[in-house]
């Protein structure tokens, strides 16, 4: 990939042992939104994830060992800033995020610094049950108060960031799974970033098996509560961002982007 961008937006796909799905995912995204560049961050995979992603047409960064989603995304954010992109969007490498929603989520950046593709906002059939759903509901209510706007899916990894948010993420994006979505969102809000959500649909993953179980759901509930408490207790971070850069919320209103 050359340093000259086409749309100014980088699609970041963190991937760990996704050889079965990554090829089709990259090809479908390229077909639907060919104007955006794709970066696959191979998070220490033991299979052919990197080679297949390159063959499908994505740029690839190979990490020497597994850092987790947060570490892979921070690597992607640094790449985006270094190569002059003005926005970036995270897309799952397993094919669950619908490529047709990418530009819809990016459109949320017209009024905010961070745009979340929300699974529980009136579109699609996605559902979560038991302790996992309880945790998501509580997290959404608490973080909505912090953000001063209604958010229904604060754990979604399908989210876009403008240049202001990218600079904030580089300094404060956590490397731990779960913390990468909750902690990063709370800290970004406390640093002054504005957030909106866009209703999206989820697809069935192209390969592999979701790792959900009652035991893991209880662990998720406990960890999410701890992460939220730590995030709320953090001091407001100082982020060095060019003050001349216009903020979307200063031009248009806040809130959710309609379907």
User: Domain boundaries in the chain?
Assistant: 9-203+211-240
How far is Cα 49 from Cα 52, in angstroms, rounded to an integer?
5
3-state secondary structure of 72: helix
| 9-203+211-240 CATH | 3.90.550.10
3-state secondary structure of 97: strand
Phi first, then psi, for residue 108 (nearest 5°) are: -65, -20
Indicate the helix (H) or strand (E) that contains 159. Answer: strand 159-162
- Mean pLDDT comparison of 26-30, 137-141, 208-212, highest-scoring range: 26-30
How far is Cα 190 from Cα 156, in angstroms, rounded to an integer?
19
The predicted pLDDT at position 183 comes to 81
pTM across the whole model: 0.80
pLDDT tens per residue across span 184-206: 888 899 889 999 999 998 875 55
> Quick one: DSSP state of residue 95?
S
pLDDT tens per residue across span 230-254: 656 666 655 544 544 555 554 333 3
Share of the chain above pLDDT 90, in %: 51
The predicted pLDDT at position 174 comes to 72
Contacts of 44 (CB under 8 A, 6+ apart): 16, 63, 64, 65, 66, 67
Mode of pairing for the β-strands spanning 37-43 and 59-63: parallel
pLDDT at residue 62 tops 80: yes
């Amino acid at each position: 990939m050359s340093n000259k961008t086409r749309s100014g937006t980088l699609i970041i796909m963190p991937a760990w042992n996704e050889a079965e799905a990554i090829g089709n995912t990259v090809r479908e995204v390229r077909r639907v939104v060919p104007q955006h560049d794709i970066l696959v961050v191979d998070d220490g995979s033991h299979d052919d994830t990197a080679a297949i992603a390159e063959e499908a047409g994505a740029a690839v960064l190979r990490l020497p060992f597994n850092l987790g989603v947060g570490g892979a995304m921070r690597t992607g954010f640094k790449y985006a800033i270094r190569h002059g992109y003005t926005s970036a969007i995270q897309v799952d490498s397993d094919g669950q995020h619908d490529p047709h929603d990418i530009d819809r989520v990016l459109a949320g950046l017209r009024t905010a610094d961070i745009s979340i593709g929300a699974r529980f906002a009136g579109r699609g059939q996605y559902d979560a049950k038991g302790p996992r759903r309880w945790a998501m509901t509580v997290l959404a209510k608490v973080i909505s108060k912090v953000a001063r706007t209604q958010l229904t899916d604060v754990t979604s990894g399908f989210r876009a960031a403008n240049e202001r948010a990218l600079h904030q993420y580089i300094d404060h994006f956590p490397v731990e799974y779960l913390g990468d979505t909750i902690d990063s969102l709370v800290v970004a809000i406390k640093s002054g970033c504005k957030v909106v959500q866009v209703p999206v649909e989820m697809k069935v993953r192209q390969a592999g098996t979701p790792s959900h179980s009652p035991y893991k759901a209880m662990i998720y509930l406990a960890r999410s509560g701890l992460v939220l408490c730590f995030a709320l207790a953090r001091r407001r971070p100082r982020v060095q961002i060019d003050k001349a850069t216009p903020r979307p919320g200063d031009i248009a209103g806040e809130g959710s982007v309609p379907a």
